[in-house]
Amino acid sequence: MSNYFHYRGDRLYAEQVPLADIAAQFDTPCYVYSRAALTDSLRQFTDALQGREHLICYAVKANSNLAILNVFARLGAGFDIVSGGELQRVLAAGGDARKVVFSGVGKSVAEMLLALDAGILCFNVESAAELERLNEVAGSMGKIAPVSLRVNPDVDAKTHPYISTGLKQNKFGVAYDEAIALYRKARDLPHLRLTGIDCHIGSQLTETSPFIAATEKILALVDTLAGEGIRLEHIDLGGGLGIRYHDETPPAIADYVAALLGALRGRSEKLILEPGRVLAGNAGVLLTRVEYLKHGEEKNFAIVDAAMNDLMRPALYDAFHEILPVCRQPSPQPSPACGGGSERERQSLLYEIVGPICETGDFIGHARNLAIAPQALLAVLSAGAYGMSMSSNYNTRPRAAEVVVDGNTVHLARERETVQQLYAGEKLI
């Protein structure tokens, strides 16, 4: 657990605010983020990169709430986007288009027009066909598009297969052996300007060695290109640094950056990084309330009001999220934080923590030892990244509210959706 979510006595707090107060004011399920935690993680990068020309481009898809983007923008961060929609979010949140890199295998003409019009820092191009399309679109606007090629370094990130992106068989980037030929081609296209090279090998990496292996392969390409007179201004090593959800031991941000800087010794190119999860993941929790306890023959279930539509990671990747009671010692008197129930119900038991959705895959956690009563509040930890941003409206469930805690202040960062909003665009035939 991070320092920003902690117990005082038997109650769980976000910074200076009891989570029970947030549930009382904004209801559940509710995402709660700590501004100090967001700031702290970004500062760890900028501190470690002191004295080196760099840009941290926060990966917007990890958590794209405008309030979060604004916190990072105000600290000088850039942004890594994967859609035109994310670009519009960045601009709406006060982000600087000149600090935006645009990744993704399927950029549409409309997205290219939007990004060229905004004047982004760089397109991270992922195929020959995309190079040609970008050249045409830029030409039609009388513009020159800044380009980096996303190279697939063919290294094993040793992470979950769904979030491993740097192997030959993955759909991402241009093949390592074809990169030089593609750079030559790009050099000859009139409406492109080659500015950099990038890679992104996967997410939730808990070791430094795959990053270093990828960096070394990228640097070999940079040298070959320089030999041909193609001099790049920046090297973008992507994101992917993991966080601790359970018992993982990822390197600290400072150690990860130091390792990269070691591999980059003697190089003068600007370094770009695209961290997402490590900036936001442990800066947020999902607050949920126990609706029912159900004691089955083989298993005990705690049915909570958050579900796979709110937090998809357990259902999608069988991911582990720690789950803590907001009230550690439920007393016989019912209360809004601790719930209420018989002594038997308040016993510590192994629970399946499940949502109300009609899918057996709808679980938040398996076999958790908890002493909880019906109506008790639970905090699902490490939910700041790939939580709300992957949420859906499955089962016509309005999406959760989001709040940002800043010291003893709570800001509503997104109102809970209403059911009317969900079908506002639908028509009877």
Ligand X SMILES: *Cc1c(COP(=O)(O)O)cnc(C)c1O
Under the rule (CB under 6 A), what is the footprint of ligand X?
59, 61-62, 80, 82, 103, 200, 203, 238-241, 274-278
Which residue's CB is nearer to ligand X, number 22 or number 257? 257
Q: What are the beta bridge partners of residue 349? A: 370
Closer to ligand X by CB, 41 or 103: give it: 103
Q: Looking at the chain, how many residues does it have?
A: 429
Instruction: Output the six-digit token pair for 261.
Output: 């800087």
Residue 187 has, within 13 A of its CA and on its CB side, a CA count of 13
| Least Cβ distance, residue 161 to ligand X (angstroms) | 14
Q: CB 386 → ligand X: shortest distance, Å?
A: 7
Q: Nearer to ligand X by C-beta: 200 or 397?
A: 200
CB 241 within 8 A of CB 45: no
Least CB distance to ligand X at residue 343 (A):
44
Tokens of 180: 């030089």
* Closer by beta carbon to ligand X, 200 or else 368: 200
Six-digit token string for 25: 């004011």
Closer residue to ligand X, CB minimum distance, 275 or 387? 275
**Amino acid (1-letter code) at residue 415:** E
Nearer to ligand X, 313 or 397 (CB): 313
What are 174's strand-pairing partners?
Answer: 151
Q: How far is the CB of 256 from ligand X (least distance, A)?
A: 11
Q: DSSP string covering 29-75, please?
A: SEEEEEHHHHHHHHHHHHHHTTTS-EEEEEEGGG---HHHHHHHHHT
Give the rounded distance of the alpha carbon of 84 from its chain centre. Answer: 17
Q: Other C-beta atoms within 10 Å of 200: how many? A: 26
CB-CB contact of 160 with 188 (8 Å): no
Please say whether the beta carbons of 38 and 68 come within 8 A. Answer: yes
For residue 195, count other CB atoms closer than 10 A to its CB.
Answer: 18
Asked if 196 and 274 count as a contact pair (C-beta separation under 8 A), the reply is no
- We find the least distance from the C-beta atom of residue 274 to ligand X, in angstroms, to be 4
Nearer to ligand X, 318 or 415 (CB): 318
What letter represents residue 111's amino acid?
A: E
Question: What is the DSSP annotation of 297-317?
Answer: SS-EEEEES--TTT--HHHHH
Q: What is the DSSP letter of 347?
A: S
Nearest approach in angstroms of CB 103 to ligand X is 4
For the annotated catalytic residues, the residue numbers are: 358
What is the closest distance, in whole angstroms, from the C-beta atom of residue 58 to ligand X in the complex?
A: 9
Nearer to ligand X, 171 or 231 (CB): 171
Q: Are 162 and 317 in contact (CB under 8 A)?
A: yes
Integer Cα distance of 231 and 237 in angstroms? 17
Widest pairwise Cα distance in the chain: 77
**Within 10 Å of residue 321's Cβ, how many Cβ atoms?**
21
Shortest gap between Cβ of 61 and ligand X (angstroms)? 6
